[in-house]
Amino acid sequence: MNKSDCLCRVCSSTISDIFDFGNMPIANNLMPVINDTYTKNEYKYNMKIGVCINCSSLQIVNVPEKELMFNNQYAYFASQSEFMKSHFEKLGNKVMQLMDKEKDYILEIGSNDGIFLKYFADKQYKHLGVDASENVVETAKKNGVNALCSFFDEETSIEINNKYGKAKIIVITNTMHHIENCQEVAKGINNILAEDGTLIIEDPYLLDMYKIGSIEQVYAEHNFIWSLHSYKTLFEKHSIKLFDVEHFDTHGGSMRYYFSKQNLNKTSTMQEYINLELNNKIFDINTFIKFQENCINISKELYNFVVSKSKEGKIIAGYGATAKSATTLNYSNIDKNLISCIYDSTPFKIGKYTPGTHIEIKDAKLFTKDSPDYTILFAWNHKKEIIEKEKNNKSKTIWVEYIPKLKLTYEN
Ligand code: TYD
Ligand code: ZN
């Protein structure tokens, strides 16, 4: 285990390098066409992750420029999943209870296509979404959401404060782990969160990632995988205190964190998870080493399976051109020579090619007709929704899952 030259972005301790993935593309940089020029110019960076055993955060050591990841070609549109829509609707209802409709407003950082704020817009609550990618901001605006295209930092927080005042609620779902300069965001939040306000953050949870071996939660956009301990360390520096958490199965296991500037009583759930993290030795480097070994085995198992079925002449496809799968596909050397195509319902993705591995993305509507022999479920976090939908479409494929281990499901 080498000590990295890099310092932890959360607590400034030296971090240990744990995993070198080699040259990786940016996970959401889908290729519009495959030809020599595009292939030669495809951006790659040496992706390495490190762990800070002082604050228990896992982070990418060398992050590409943020403008290379978040721009007018951002490929992730959150509203593709009906399940996620209902998940956010429930959060919306809960948050509305905390707001005075006349006086308060809600700020969402990373508002994407407006999947969450749309409920507030529909019910005429004051709201503002901030997102760095122009194309998703445009979609949010078309959905009636008041949205601003910007990276959220201290300067943006001052501008927002001047125009809208302090926010009663700040929500950040599946975004905080994208942001390299977490100190800047925490400063901005400190500027703009009302004294009696609540900050709610939700993203993939470190302990779940260790448990299921989902290394693919890490890619250039997912700069961090957070834990209770690492979030506490970050926000306490900025006088914002964690007081409650809620766990969800979304995205392979996510945690929702509740923070306040006030000294609120800590809930028993929060204390349980603090203890769980300690009992699961998140500060012990050996926990990370075991996780790394598990991930390498998962990747080898998937590669061997694909190669053996390909030799038998079987058609192997994928389902869900997820950003996550870019890590698995590139790290495992599974490319267009082994996978016929990946089916996906996102209009922006259809007709493009996966980064690094150049697999064609086809409209999910063609899935039943094409009927591949095996289909790797890259969108494993939407398993129930996708398998049920395709079962109704009378799909005859054999589903292949690879996390936490290789599993085949015969539907017929
Ligand atoms: P997602 O899980 O949001 O992950 P990531 O952040 O890793 O990109 O991606 C899910 C992908 O699966 C997305 O491209 C949309 C696609 N999808 C379908 O094609 N059909 C479906 O029914 C669902 C739920 C998702
Ligand atoms: Zn640290």
Mutate to test the pocket of ligand 1, among 87, 363, 382 (most ligand atoms within 8 A of CB): 382
Domain end residue (candidates: 195, 230, 264) = 264
Task: Please determine, for residue 3, whether its predicted confidence score (pLDDT) is greater than 90.
Answer: no
- Flag whether pLDDT at 412 surpasses 60: no
Tell the burial category of 170 from Cβ atoms under 10 Å away from its Cβ (0-12, 13-18, 19+). buried
Domain that holds residue 54: 2-60
Å from CA of 230 to ligand 2 middle:
7
d(CA 169, CA 258): 10
Residue type, 375: T
Whole-number Å distance between alpha carbons of 387 and 364: 12
The ligand whose atoms approach the alpha carbon of 283 most closely is: 2
Any atom of ligand 1 within 6 Å of the Cβ of 104: no
* 249, 342: one domain: no
- Residue-level pLDDT at 6: 83
Q: What is the mean pLDDT of residues 135-144?
A: 95
Distances 116 to 14, 128, 260, 348 between C-alpha atoms, Å: 37, 11, 21, 20
235 and 87 in one domain? Answer: yes
323 in contact with ligand 1, CB cutoff 6 A? yes
Residue with CA at minimum distance from ligand 1 atom 20: 345
* Average pLDDT score over residue span 166-187: 96
Average pLDDT over residues 128-156: 96
Instruction: Write down which residue in 30, 60, 90 finishes a domain.
Output: 60
Would the CB of 354 count as within 6 Å of ligand 1? no
Does residue 47 sit in the same domain as residue 116? Answer: no
pLDDT digits (tens, 9 = 90+) for 304-349: 999 999 999 999 999 999 999 999 999 999 999 999 999 999 999 9
Report d(CA 83, CA 88) in Å as an integer.
9
16 and 142, same domain (yes or no): no
> What CATH code is carried by the domain that includes residue 361?
3.40.50.720
Does one domain contain both 345 and 236?
Answer: no
**Ligand 1 pocket test, candidate residues 175, 223, 346, 349, most atoms within 8 A of CB:** 346
In a domain, residue 390? The reply is yes
Q: Is the CB of 256 under 6 A from ligand 1?
A: no
- Indicate whether residue 175 lines ligand 1 (CB < 6 A): no
Beta 398-401 vs 374-377: how paired, if at all?
parallel
Q: Are residues 226 and 342 in the same domain?
A: no
Q: Are residues 49 and 136 in the same domain?
A: no
pTM beyond 0.85: the answer is yes
Task: Give pLDDT, residue 2.
Answer: 52
pLDDT at residue 288 in the model: 92
pLDDT at 249: 94
Asked if residue 54 belongs to a domain, the reply is yes
Query: Which of 264, 297, 327 lies at the terminal end of a domain, its last residue?
Result: 264
Question: For residue 193, which amino acid is it?
Answer: L
- 255 and 165 assigned to the same domain: yes
Asked if 4 and 61 touch (Cβ cutoff 8 Å), the reply is yes
154 lies in some domain = yes
Residue type, 81: S
Spatial separation of the C-alpha atoms in residues 77 and 91, rounded to whole Å: 19
Q: Is the distance from the beta carbon of residue 321 to the nearest atom of ligand 1 less than 6 Å?
A: yes
Note the pLDDT tens digit of each residue in 61-120. Answer: 888 777 777 777 776 777 778 888 899 999 999 999 999 999 999 999 999 999 999 999
Are residue 257 and residue 349 in the same domain, yes or no? no
Q: Is residue 280 part of a domain?
A: no
Distance between Cα 193 and ligand 2 center (Å): 24
Number of domains in the chain: 3
Q: Are residues 100 and 54 in the same domain?
A: no
Co-location of 94 and 35 in the same domain:
no
- The per-residue pLDDT for range 205-252, each reduced to its tens digit, is 999 999 999 989 888 778 999 999 999 999 999 999 999 999 999 999
**What are the DSSP calls for 10-65, one per residue?**
TT-PEEEEEEEEEEEE-TT--BS--SHHHHHH--EEEEEEEEETTTTEEEESSPPP
273: in domain: no
DSSP 8-class letter at 380? G
What pLDDT shows up at residue 5?
66
Calculate how far, in angstroms, residue 53's C-alpha sits from the geometric centre of ligand 1. Answer: 32
**CA gap 391, 395 in Å, rounded:** 6
Tokens representing 152 are 């959220």
Q: Is residue 281 part of a domain?
A: no
Distance 320 CA to ligand 1 centre (A): 5
How far apart are the C-alpha atoms of 127 and 108, rounded to whole Å?
Answer: 8
3-class DSSP assignment, residue 160:
helix
Q: Whose CA is nearest to atom 16 of ligand 1?
A: 320
Q: Is residue 145 part of a domain?
A: yes
- Rounded to the nearest angstrom, the distance between the alpha carbon of 402 and the centre of ligand 1 is 16
Question: What would the pLDDT profile of 391-402 be if each residue is shown by its tens digit?
Answer: 888 888 999 999
pLDDT, tens digit, 9 for 90 and up, residues 246-304: 999 999 999 999 999 999 999 999 999 999 999 999 999 999 999 999 999 999 999 99
Which pair of tokens denotes residue 65? 């420029």
What mean pLDDT comes out for the span 54-61?
93
DSSP of 224-286? EEB-HHHHHHHHHTTT-EEEEEEEE-GGGSEEEEEEESS-PPPPHHHHHHHHHHHHTTTT-HH
- 177: domain CATH number? 3.40.50.150
Distance 206 CA to ligand 2 centre (A): 14
Non-local CB neighbours of 225 within 8 Å, separated by 6+ positions: 57, 58, 59, 177, 204, 205, 206, 209, 217, 218
Q: According to the model, what pLDDT value does residue 257 have?
A: 98
In what order do the strands lie in the sheet containing 398-401? 361-363, 342-344, 316-319, 374-377, 398-401, 407-410
- pLDDT at residue number 265: 98
| Cα(52) to centroid(ligand 2), Å | 5
Task: With respect to residue 269, please indicate whether it lies within any of the assigned structural domains.
Answer: no
Residues in Cβ contact with 198 at an 8 Å cutoff, skipping those fewer than 6 apart: 98, 168, 169, 170, 258, 259, 260
Mean pLDDT across 116-136: 96
User: 389: Cβ below 6 Å to ligand 1?
Assistant: yes
pLDDT higher than 90, residue 4? no
Check whether residue 225 and residue 252 sit in a common domain. yes
